[in-house]
Each structure stands twice: as C-alpha cells, then as structure tokens.
Structure 1
Amino acid sequence: MDVTQMYISEFVGTAVLIAFGNTTNASILLKKTIVSIFGTNWLHIIFGWAFAVAFGVYVGITLGGPGHLNPAVTFALAVAGIFPWDQVIPMSIAQIAGGFTGAAIAALFYYPHFKVTGPDEGNCVGIFATGPAIDNKPFNLMSEIIATFMFMLAILCLGKMADGLAPMVIGILVASIGMSFGATTGYALNPARDFGPRLAYFLLPIPNKGTANWQYAWVPFIGPLIGAGLAVLFFQLVAP
C-alpha cells in the first residue's frame, strides 16, 4: 500500500465522517434550521453519526487506505502487531487534520445559522466535539474507555464479509454504541473525531461561539486510546 495515498485516504475519509457528523449536530442545535422547526431526538444524532462513519469508511477504503479514520483504531492495531508503529503518528495527524477540515466544512455550511445563535442558545462546542452529561472526569474517562473497548472488540470479531458490507456494519455498530454507551459522554470513540473539530471551533472565526472546553478535551483523546488498546489485548488473550 502506498503510504502517501494511505495518509490522503485517511485525511479525506475522516473529513467526510466529521463533515456529515458535525452538520448533523449543527442542524439540531443551531437556530432557524428546518430541523429545528420540526424537532428531533437522540436517534437523529445516533443515526446521523452512524451513517457518517459508514460513508467516511467507504471513502477512505475507496481512496486506497485501510479506513481506520481513528487514531485509537490505528494505535490498537499497532499494539496487535497488525499495523506498523512508525506510521501511527503520521496516520493520526492525517486523521486529526481531516477532523479539523470536516469541522470547517460544517462551520462554513451553517455560517448564517451560527450568526443568529448565541452560546446559550446552541452555538456551542458540542456541535463539534463531545462533552459529559455529568462532569466527573474519572467516570467520564471510564465511559470512554468502556465504550471504545466494546466498539473495538466488536470490530475485531466481525470476521470476513463481502466487499462493501463492512463499512455499513461498522455504522450499525456505532449506532448501537450510541444507544447503549453514548448517553454519558457522547461516545467520542475517536480522538480525531473530538480533537480536530474542537480545535476548529477554537481557531475558526465562527460567530457568537462559546468556549471550546479544553479542560475536558483530554478525556475523549486518552479514553479511546486506552479502550481500544485494552480490547486488542483482551481479544488476543481469549481468541482461539
């Protein structure tokens, strides 16, 4: 596999994932969107992100990469000896840069709605990044570790599937995680999904924006890495 093409595929695939995901959140949280007129619920967000992951993976694989789109997955596969360690950091940088770019697309697309929405009305970092329902860092970290552990373990157990089916199944898995383990911290599962968009919200000239909540940012970065790494070690221990 061409390394440069792999990095490009991870960048573009992650950008697609985040563009779909962040615009899903923006359509709900910002004022004067058509969605805000009709109302919505948690399932809208869950399936919006599930499809975002599926189509991001489709793009990444089609462009010649492995379709990780997630530093936690890349790190875990390196722990398993499946992915080379010397490519983990550059791959993760490509994924985080893709996350930043996808968030920038969402910010541009909904720019007029950001202009009419204040920080106390929905113009918040939650459009781009995750946050806890109850701010308790040890339990927030535990939530991200467990959710990502279950996510990675399920991925490792998917087995062989027909070409083109795996990304959709992974999307269904993301929806399942959202409905089960997602309600405490927003189920980041992915450092690039959280850090890149959070950085974009902080740096880009988005009107009326609130705080980027950097004091929480380490939780959705470290938690998925730990959870995915533990899942690989557990799988290697118990798999026949």
Structure 2
Amino acid sequence: MNTWSNAPLSLAASHNFPPYSFLDEEGNLSGIDIDITNKIMKLSEIQFFIELKPISRIEYLIKNKKVDAVITTTPHITETISNSMWFSNSLYNTTLSLFINSKNKEILNQKLSYNKVCQRTGFLNGSILTSPEFSSTSFIDVRSVNYVSQLVDLLTLGRVDCVIAEDIAFIYQAKEMKKQDQVLLIKEITDRDIFIGLQESLVKRRPELPLKIDKAISELHKNHAIDDIIIKYLQLPLKKAN
C-alpha cells in the first residue's frame, strides 16, 4: 500500500491550452508539458498523475494544498503561490511576442513606434506583461479573451491591430485554424522559463524529489529530448518579419 512517503504525486496543468496541455481527439492527455513530464517522472521513477484544471482552480488547489505540484506553462502562477513552492530547473523557454496581421506588413516601413501601431491590442486573460517597452496601459483599447483561438480570430478578422501572446501557443493555434499565413511575428518582448513546481511542504517530507526531478531534466536536455518534443508539436518554423 502507498504511504505519505511514496504516494503518487498529483500534478495540475492548464486545461485546453494546446500545444502545452490538452485532451486529444481520443480523450487522452497530450501536449508538450504532458510529454515532458511523463519523461521526467519515468526517469525519476516517481509515481504521479496529471489532471487538467482551469487556472483559477489550480491557484485554489495550490493555495489550499490540495495538489502536490503544477506545471508552470503560463505566467498564471502568482507571486503568492510561488512563494510557497519549490521550482525545478527550466524545462524550456517561451517568448512573449508581438504579432500583427500579415496584410499590414507595410506599416513596419513607416518606422512608427509599436505603441502607435498597436492602438487596439489583444491579450489572453491572466497574462502578465513585464517589459520596459510595454504594459497593459500602453494601449488605447485592450481586448482580453479566454482562449488563444480567440486571439487568432481577433487579429485575422481585423478587430485588433496587434496581439501579444506566447509565440508557441499562438503560432500553434494559428496553424490549427489554417490561418498561419495571416499572422506575422514582429517583435519578441520577453522570455519566460517553464518549470515544475512542488509544494514546499511536500519537499520537506520527501527531500529526494527535487534532486530526482532536476537530474532527470538535465538528462533530457543532454539528449535533446525536450527539444524533440517541442519540434513534434511545432513542425514548422515561426514566420517572422524581416
């Protein structure tokens, strides 16, 4: 029988957030974070299970210690939560980027500031923009939506001038919607590292977990296994303005 010292870890990941974590057509857990976590835990010989939850629910579960760990794909892990968690070495890096509709590429030749080009801008709800150039108050009209697919529609239908989004998620969704030729990445704003976070109370009970997890991450980086997983989900390079 399992005891508190060897019980399977309960991990939470964002629901319906392709290509990071989602249910495939057969109802199976899939995505970059799911595949990476599976490899980490297999190498570490750690028993675990993953549940997909809305971000607000994940925050509640972490605060109330009802989940052992989280895969921090997005910037939704608040400072309050992060103060009570141990974070692994970086799994990989994502970039928050600025996108325009490709039909407006000629705007770039006018050498206008991005704030003037992007009067109306789309964001994903819960996104945290930390950049010396931009903030959520830099734009006249900010449209916040719940899903990346909605950001793609806002931009391609001309309802916003620009979108600020994580490049991996946005390009993936544009490809899924067959609209990748209508979006253009024009500026990389800021980078983010992705981690696995464990409750500090769990780490105190099972101090071997951080060592096992970080060792497995190093091994996966050495073998380029994480890069291979990301490439599997993003088969084409990003389209970026010259």
Give the TM-score normalised by structure 2. 0.27
- The structure with the greater share of residues assigned to helix is 1
Q: Indicate the structure with greater strand content.
A: 2
